Amino acid sequence: MDIIQGSIRDLEVIYDRFEKDFPPDERKDRKQIESLMLKNKYKLIIAKHSILSEVLGYAFIYETENLGLIWIDYIAINPKFQSKGYGSLLFNKVMERSNDVKGIIVEVERADHENLHIREKQKRRIDFYKRLGARRLNIAYHLPTKDGSIPLDLYFIPKQGINYLPKDVIQNKIRSVFEFIHGDVEHRNIVLNGFINDIDDEYFHIVG
């Protein structure tokens, strides 16, 4: 797997795939993503097959150097290459981007959809994150949308040796995400204030 940092031109190719991978109420339009990418902290990471040169998957990530956390806004593996280990490899490559990274935070749908097929997909996604060592954070998180908000779970994939995440680091990262990524949502602070003060320190039991 080869990892490249995508450009605005690459976004034109990836966006068609992105529209199929995420529902309309969860995805930003192309102009919004372009605007975020031009600010340099929001990056498109593309995974390509080393031999076939096909796109294996991609991720949109938000990095803030002072907090040591990578926020994955969106991540997807081409269905053709799913269940072959490429998803885990992509996460590892993202984690390795900096020595100062404490871990990765990702928004995850709860496995509660009324449609059985969709609910099974949600369960498989959660199981995938757990196999990566992800821990669900004890946060009543809501994703701000144009029409309100969506309840999601936050999972943290710690770097090896990390077993503690202070509440101020979590709060500051989420505040930064709401201001930077969701700055176009007028009621974002109302959504944020609904849970931000209830966040506490997180401790992770290290097995082995």
Tell me which of 3-7, 48-52, 72-76, 192-196 is least confident. Answer: 48-52
Instruction: Give ∠ CA 37-45-53 in degrees, rounded to 5.
Output: 130
Give the model confidence (pLDDT) of 89-114 as tens digits: 998 888 887 778 889 999 998 878 88
In a domain, 57, yes or no: yes
Amino acid at 167: K
In a domain, 61, yes or no: yes
- Per-range mean pLDDT, top range of 43-47, 52-56, 158-162: 43-47
Report the domain count for the chain. Answer: 1
pLDDT of residue 206: 56
> Can you give the CATH number for the domain in which 178 is found?
3.40.630.30
CA distance 22 to 25: 8
In a domain, 208, yes or no: no
CA distance 125 to 110: 10
- Per-range mean pLDDT, top range of 29-33, 105-109, 191-195: 191-195
- Structural domain for 26, as ranges: 2-203
CA distance 204 to 143: 24
Question: What integer is the mean pLDDT of 13-39?
Answer: 89
Pick from 134, 153, 129: nearest CA to 142: 153
Amino acid at 88: S
pLDDT at 208 over 50: no
pLDDT at 124 over 70: yes
Instruction: Please provide the DSSP assignment of 10-27 as one string.
Output: HHHHHHHHHHHHS-TTT-
Tokens of 134: 């992800």
